[in-house]
Chain A
Amino acid sequence: MKNRLLYIFFPFIIVYLLFLGLPLVRMLTFNSLGYLISDTSSGILASIYYTYIIALAVALIAVLFSIPYAFIFARKRSLGYRLADSIIEVPIMIPSTVVGVMMLITFEPQMPVGHFIGMIVPEYTFSDSLLAVILTLLFVSSAYSIRIIGASYRREILQYEEVATTLGIDEMKSFFLVSLPMLTKSIVRGVILSWARAISAVGSILIVAYYIYPGFQQIAGVFIYSQFLGSGLPPAAASSAILIITGIIVLALLRIFGGKDAFIY
């Protein structure tokens, strides 16, 4: 039975992998290697570097929120908490441009929340700022680390922490000495996935920060979009290929960290 199912399912996997792989191969081979190399002087490398650093900062902030979130929501399962918990996925389903608009009408200094922040922080600005990019990317990408770390904590770790507590180790110690070390792999996975999601955000960033003042840097997705509209498909495809190559490296790292359970979140 098992072998038969393997034979039945195998063609589907082939079709699916082809479906995923063909556009990637097409993008990577759209330009010659020489053209790809010449495109590295277009500014895409600096943009990717800048994007990766920002995305890493965002992913680390997401993890910072994920750990207390996991701790609380593993223990509290009443209706109110479950409702609050359901908000986590909402940013994933909101169209990217809508997220950009939401950020603007919330955090712009002339809007109520932004005005309040402006009263506390002198010379507060939002659009075209690094803060705008970080908050927007955090909004769209934090759900991934929250869910990975939360699920891991609840399913795999909470029981050990409870055992530690019954052995007389206080709650604080058991969390930091037992749970956190066991969460390391999930935290790394969460960082990588939130990081990857932050890199892929474009529509929302086009709205809140077409460029980032004062250096006028563009995050990679916006840079490629500008390249596509300003210079056409070949340079945009070349920059996209460079971005994809780095993305593949990240996913390879994820696979290495995840081992045989890499696909289970």
Chain B
Amino acid sequence: MHNMKFSRTTITIIVVLVAGILVGVSAGYYIPRGSASPSSSVSVFAAGSLEYSLGDHFNPYFRNSTGISVGSTFSGSVSGARNVQSGIHYDVFVSASAAVIPSLLMPNYTDWMVIFASNEMAITWLNPSYNIPVGAFWFENITSPGVTVAASTSQLDPSGFQAIEMIKLAGLLYTGWNNSSYGAYVKEAFGNNFSAYMKYNAAWNSWFGKEGYLEKHNYGGNYSNNDSLALYDQIFLYMLSRGETKLTTVEIGLDGLLAAGTADYALTYKSQAVNQGLSYFKNSDGGNGLSSWINLGNISESHVEFYQMVNSTGPTTPDDNIGNLPGAPILYAATVLNGTANTQAAYSYIYYLITESGQKFLANSDFDPLPVAFGFNIPYIPASLSSAIVPIPSYMPQSAYV
């Protein structure tokens, strides 16, 4: 009997340990409930490029308008989808590449999506000494000896392979007047003005071609006359092999690389440039200096067909490939993921995003909101959203959204 008696010290230890467990369990149980109740909140994953327009502007507006609070996570669209596959739940998923949703989240996590905005690729910089003046042959600036260029890694961030597509499109635009496949688009792009085309074509060949500027400066170059891949090869093969092209993750932020001086130019979205205070190559009207025929921001039929003339294939060392996808416009898409407790709040979030109020905030952040959102798998789209969408145009290549 004596052995069974516990001393006061023993009892104190037991009490302290048990109390510690109870406090810990209680805290774990109650703390999440202390936040906004499920009935008045919606959790949103959105592409990092939307952080400014959604996080700083649209989300507060939505909360004030509806009383529904928003918990936001901003990161690379691909990494967000991988998180979902690994068990993390978001009510609403917003991607910077519409194709991410069908390829990574359908059919296990959702059956539909709405495409609501496009974006444009841009040549950005932070250090004024790298300024590209209006009307300049921008491809010379970003391939000058000693200059470093940064882009996202294709496998992690859509803007990576979109940068590759944009660079390849530039090659077609500046060398393809007589091309049987896409020459008609080149002529349309230059308004059938051959001399305007020739200005760019001559600059292209005298920069990249035999005995051109680059070759004379012993910095790559020496490409064939009218080699449409000269710019791609210079940036993604030659400069990459020299460490002067930097491929990096979106989480890092290309603007951070520009600020640290790690890169002189970044190939990224125009909205990123505007929202992060970066300078970008402009035209005489103050718009994007990269032609709509190469910046992947136009959804007209002829533009979309021209975009398809290139593919997303990137360098192999390091591997920067996501597969051989045809070029396509940059399309932002949103969906509600399965398992969302308060679907009405989530639907409401998307409705606000794709209609007038959300589109206003997106336009203010230099996105290109679609006049009417496109619906994918329309039979599955909730009735509360169906009035705000139209089917995806038939000329749009499936690779733009599947």
Contact = CB atoms under 8 A, between A and B. Distances in A.
Q: Are A and B co-members of a single complex?
A: yes
Interface of A: 1, 4-5, 8, 12, 97, 100-101, 104-105, 108-111, 125-129, 206-207, 210-211, 213-214, 216, 218, 226, 228-230, 232-233
Contacts of B78: 229-230
B246 A127 contact: yes
Interface string B1-19: 0000011011001100100
A229 B156 CA distance: 6
Contacts of B317: 216
Given A111-B260, A233-B85, A5 B10 contact: yes
B155 interface: yes
B363 to A, nearest CB: 30
A206 B252 contact: yes
A233 B84 CA distance: 10
Contacts of A104: 256, 260, 262
Contacts of A109: 261
Best-buried of A100, A108, A211 by chain B (most CB within 10 Å): A211
A42 B248 CA distance: 20
Contacts of A210: 153, 247-249, 252
Contacts of A232: 82, 85
Contact of A12 (B6, B17, B155, B241): B17
A233 B82 contact: yes
A44 B155 CA distance: 17
B251 interface: yes
Given A1-B10, A111-B261, A127-B246, A229 B76 contact: yes
A96 to B, nearest CB: 12
For the side of the interface on B, what is the size category? 20 to 34
B191 interface: no
7 interchain residue pairs of minimum CB distance = A110-B261, A230-B155, A216-B318, A213-B243, A104-B260, A127-B262, A229-B156
A227 B306 CA distance: 32
A156 to B, nearest CB: 31
B275 interface: no
A214 B243 contact: yes
B86 interface: yes
Contact of B243 (A5, A97, A128): A128
Best-buried of B14, B82, B246 by chain A (most CB within 10 Å): B82
17 contacts: A1-B7, A1-B9, A8-B10, A97-B251, A101-B256, A104-B262, A111-B260, A125-B243, A127-B260, A129-B243, A210-B153, A210-B249, A210-B252, A216-B317, A218-B318, A226-B156, A229-B155
A8 B261 contact: no
B14 A8 contact: yes
B17 A214 contact: no
Contacts of A206: 249, 251-252
A229 B260 contact: no
Contacts of A97: 251
B352 to A, nearest CB: 30
B10 A4 contact: yes
A125 B7 CA distance: 67
A101 B260 CA distance: 9
B79 interface: yes
A209 B91 CA distance: 34
Nearest to A211: B318
A8 B246 CA distance: 57
Nearest to B87: A233
Nearest to A206: B249
B6 A4 contact: yes
B251 A8 contact: no
B276 to A, nearest CB: 15
Nearest to A217: B318
Contacts of B6: 4
A85 B192 CA distance: 72
Nearest to B6: A4
Given A206-B251, A229-B156, A105 B86 contact: no
A212 to B, nearest CB: 10
Interface in B46-96: 76, 78-79, 82, 85-86
Contacts of B9: 1
Contacts of B251: 97, 206
Given A8-B13, A108-B261, 10 more contacts: A4-B6, A127-B246, A127-B262, A206-B251, A210-B252, A214-B243, A216-B317, A229-B78, A229-B82, A233-B85
A162 to B, nearest CB: 40
A109 to B, nearest CB: 7
A106 B119 CA distance: 34
B13 A226 contact: no
A49 to B, nearest CB: 17
